[in-house]
Structures are given as structure tokens and as C-alpha cells.
Structure 1
Amino acid sequence: MTSKTQKLLSLLDGQPVIPVIKITDAKDAVPLARALARGGLRAIEITLRTDAALEAIRRAAAEVEEAVVGAGTILNARQFEEASKAGSQFIVSPGITSQLLSAAADSPVPLLPGAITPGEIMAAREAGLDFLKFFPAEQAGGAAFLKALSSPIADVRFCPTGGIGAKNANDYLSLPNVICVGGSWVAPDEMVKAGDWAGIEALAREASKLRKA
């Protein structure tokens, strides 16, 4: 296990579900992060899929001490730097590029990059990465595919994301090569827009009860 993997795992702190969040209004970032943390999900991934994302990361990172704020959907070195400067404590990408690897090598902020195929996973392994995002999980073969990888590439572990919800999360968490899962079901868009922080806290509390087998 690399030092950056250890750092990333310490930030996630055994959390079974990492909320994957899309924020369209930065003012929602603080109450949303607080609701998730109250429910037991301190580590969150705010995706760079909206114009409000970087400001949302800044606010959550600065104002919610109990939260561990990460940035997701990072596609290049520029976004890596912007998200790090905004206060992200970890960076998540749907894939791996040489540019991203270079940015991560020069930064104290750990990278969780995505890989799907055995070739991509082996390339990441050669680059010293042994904890990867598996995305889009359901569309790429789901838990059965990851189970098949657990023997030939036994020293690489995953955070599968994509198509995962309360009903199938345990299919992944029961696998020996899965550390946690990522999912948006704990902070649905409609509940965020409605400001239903109590409802989101309740969903987070249920998700936090999921555990590795």
C-alpha cells in the first residue's frame, strides 16, 4: 500500500458510502455537507459538473469542519489544481491520464482515479496506484466483474461508482477488493433543491450502517 493510498484511506476512515454530489447552487453546499456528516458520512465528493462546484467546495471545506471534502469528475491537471486550491482533500477522476498522474505526483492531495479494464488497472498499478475508482460500475459489468478481478489482480482495491444504490450496495461491499462505494442516492437532486436536509441526514444515516462483510 502506497503512502498516498494510506492517506486517502485515512480520510475516508472506513466509511462504506461516499456521497457523490452535484451542486447547482453554492449556498446549498454547507447545509448539505453538515446533513451528510450528521448522518455519519463525513467524506463527500462534490463533482465538477456544474458552474457552482468550485465555490461549493470552497464553502464546504472552509465552513464545515467535520466534513472531508473531495472533488470529483476531475479531467485534467488544471482542474486538479483548481480543486486543490479550493480546499479539496482528495481528488476523484473517472479515468487516468499522464497529465493527471503528473499533477498528483506533485501534490500532497491524493488521487482516486478510475480504471475499468484489466489493462487500465495494470497500468495504474505500475504507476503505484493500488486504490482505484471503478466507473461506471453497473454498466461496466458490476459486482460480478469486480469479483472476477479479485483473484488475478488481488492487490488492487476499488471504490465502485455508477448505478449503485441502497439495493445493490452490499453486492459490492461484500467483495474482498472493494473498500467503499460511491453513490448519489444519499443526496438526490430533488431533495437538495428542496433543502430537505433532515431527509438527506436520514438517508446518510441508513447508508452509514452499511458495512464491509
Structure 2
Amino acid sequence: MTAAAPGGVVAIVRLRAAPPDALHDVLVDAGVHALEVTLTTPGAEAALARWRAAGGPAAVGAGTVRTPEDVRRAVGAGAQFLVTPTTSPAVLDAAGEAGVPVLCGALTPTEIETAWRLGAAAVKVFPADTAGAHDYVRAVRAPLPDIPLLPTGGVDAPAARGYAALGCHGVGVGSSLVSAAATTPAALASLRTRAAALTAAWREGAREGA
């Protein structure tokens, strides 16, 4: 049986260098619910294996999963969930066989419904910001209230609060949170501040929408 999709703030780690372990520790300490390491990031599989072994309250998953081979690589490294940029039946089938939930990329109502019916655990609405952000997601949720949505693209703290208030399952947060392989004390402190602001905004929005 496939596990449920992680929700809340999902930090997207897409870097040009191998992600340091300090990045994981700071994000988790700041209350981030899940960390997505894209397979395009150098050392992604090694980071997934280390962070999964470290345990903790945050789920660790792989992003930019586009093929069944990507599924096998990610699951072999210990990914607890997968994130795709598009809706691929082959990827969803492979993930289903492995029992790993997929946050499946889609944008239009037809794509969102298709992803859900093909077995997505939640649907990553991407790119949400260019499609109209909160107004677009509000319009989509009206006829599809049963599908858990995870808007991604241009998400900062105010946007996260708004999406939570709309009843979204979570948000994917990329460059506004993790834009570099932070290693210095100042960079890590800045990352912690941004992550804490995002998680606090999500909680506030969830209370507003309850």
C-alpha cells in the first residue's frame, strides 16, 4: 500500500553542488515537513541516503523524477516520496509497484484530474505563479475539492499562508528558500530564518482556513 504524500512546506533542494548535511539539519530544525532533493543536483542519491539514515521528523524524497529508471534510482537511495515535473503513467506505475507516493506535476484541471486518477498521492500544481497563483488554485479547487494540491512556483511566506488558507495539502518552495549550498554560519542563519518564516506562515494560513 502506497504511503500518504507529505504535506506542509516541502523544501526543494536544486543546486549546482552537492548539498551539505547542515542544510538538511537547519531546514528540519526550522520545522520544514519534507525535503525534496532533485535528481539533477550533484550527489543527489548520496544526500538522499545520508538524510534518510539520519532519521528525524521530515520526510526525504527525490524530485525531477521523469522515468522508471529515475524511480528505481531514487527508491534505491531511500527516497520516501517522489516528485515529478509532469504526469507520466510509466513513472506512476513504477512508483506504485515500489509503494512510494508521488507528488505528480500537472497544471490544467484535466491534467490534475488525470494525475489523480493515475495514482498520484497529491498533485503538484506547477508552475502555479505563472498560472495565476492563489486565484488559479482557488478556481481549480472548487470543482476538484477532493484532490490534494501542492502549488509550486514563486512560493514565499505570504504565498504559503494564502495557499494553506485555501486548504491546499502543501507547497513546494524552491529558490526563495534554498538557492545555494549554504555552508557558512551567516548563510545557515539566513536559511533558518527564511525556513522558520515559511513554516510559521503555513501554520497561520492553515488556522485561517480551518
**Length-normalised TM-score, structure 1:** 0.85
Alpha carbons 1:135, 1:160 under 8 Å: kept: yes
Cα distance change, pair 63–136 in 1 and its aligned pair in 2 (3 A): same
Instruction: Give 1:168 deviation, angstroms.
Output: 2.2
4+ residue segments displaced more than 6 Å: none
Q: Distance in 2 between matches of 1:155 and 1:65?
A: 29
Instruction: Give 1:135 deviation, angstroms.
Output: 0.7
In structure 1, what residue type is equivalent to 2:15? Answer: I
Alpha carbons 2:10, 2:36 under 8 Å: kept: yes
Instruction: Give 1:64 deviation, angstroms.
Output: 4.9
Give SS of 1:181's match. Answer: strand
Instruction: Give 1:193 deviation, angstroms.
Output: 5.5
| 2:67 equivalent to 1:71 | no
In structure 2, what residue type is equivalent to 1:97? Answer: S
Cα distance change, pair 60–125 in 1 and its aligned pair in 2 (3 A): closer
What does residue range 37-116 of structure 1 map to in structure 2 within 5 Å?
37-116=28-107
Q: Distance in 2 between matches of 1:70 and 1:51?
A: 15
Instruction: Give 1:100 deviation, angstroms.
Output: 0.7
Cα distance change, pair 111–200 in 1 and its aligned pair in 2 (3 A): same
| 2:143 equivalent to 1:143 | no
Q: 1:183 aligns with which of 165, 173, 189?
A: 173
In structure 1, what residue type is equivalent to 2:145? Answer: A
The residue aligned with 1:118 is 109
Instruction: Give 1:200 deviation, angstroms.
Output: 1.6
My pick for the range that moved more, 203-212 or 155-164, is 203-212
Instruction: Give 1:66 deviation, angstroms.
Output: 4.5
Please give the per-residue CA displacement for 1:37-93, whole angstroms capped at 9, x wherever unaligned.
111114111112223222222222223545421111111111111011111111011
Q: Distance in 2 between matches of 1:27 and 1:108?
A: 26
The residue aligned with 2:198 is 207
Q: Distance in 1 between matches of 2:163 and 2:192?
A: 23
The residue aligned with 1:8 is 4
My pick for the range that moved more, 127-136 or 193-202, is 193-202
Q: Distance in 1 between matches of 2:117 and 2:33?
A: 31
Q: Distance in 1 between matches of 2:37 and 2:119?
A: 25
Instruction: Give 1:124 deviation, angstroms.
Output: 2.0
Aligned length: 202
Alpha carbons 2:33, 2:58 under 8 Å: kept: yes
Structure 2 unaligned segments of length 5 or more: list them: none
Structure 1 unaligned segments of length 5 or more: list them: none
Q: Distance in 1 between matches of 2:11 and 2:19?
A: 18
In structure 2, what residue type is equivalent to 1:200? Answer: L
| 2:15 equivalent to 1:19 | no
In structure 2, what residue type is equivalent to 1:23? Answer: L
Q: Distance in 2 between matches of 1:130 and 1:90?
A: 9
